[in-house]
């Protein structure tokens, strides 16, 4: 996935996927936060379907991270400020 296409996807996310989804219940499913008992060892992070939610110094962030050998991708957004950051890297930490 290119930085450009990931940017379009993330903008859609910040707009409640209005470009991609036409059913509000679909958005509710995507943003559902699983009960914290299932991962209680991580106190400041919550997880949903493909998204994780984090309270970072009083800022509520939502995002997704992933990697395959040789690349790492991270997306984080502050929905209240309508601000998102995407970081794409090449290389592994050794």
Question: Which pLDDT value is given to residue 91?
Answer: 74
Length of the chain (residues): 94
Q: How far apart are CA 49 and CA 45, in angstroms?
A: 14
Residue of higher predicted confidence among 51 and 7? 7
1: confidence class by pLDDT, cuts 50, 70, 90: low
Tokens of 54: 């984090």
The 10s digit of each residue's pLDDT in 11-70 is: 877 776 555 555 555 656 666 666 655 555 555 655 556 677 788 888 888 888 877 778
Q: How far apart are CA 64 and CA 51, in angstroms?
A: 5
Question: Which pLDDT value is given to residue 92?
Answer: 63
Please name which of 27, 28, 26, 45 lies closest in space to residue 36, comparing C-alpha atoms.
45
- C-alpha 33 chain-centroid distance: 12
Question: Which pLDDT value is given to residue 51?
Answer: 74
SS3 10: helix
Residue 18 region, left (φ>0) first, then alpha (ψ -120 to 50), else beta? alpha
């Amino acid at each position: 996935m290119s930085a450009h296409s990931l940017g379009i996807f993330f903008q859609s996310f910040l707009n409640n996927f209005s470009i991609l989804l036409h059913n509000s219940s679909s958005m509710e499913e995507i943003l559902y936060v699983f009960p914290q008992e299932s991962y209680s060892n991580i106190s400041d992070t919550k997880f949903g379907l493909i998204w994780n939610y984090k309270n970072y110094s009083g800022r509520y962030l939502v995002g997704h991270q992933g990697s395959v050998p040789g690349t790492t991708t991270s997306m984080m957004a502050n929905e209240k400020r309508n601000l998102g950051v995407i970081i794409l890297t090449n290389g592994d930490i050794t």
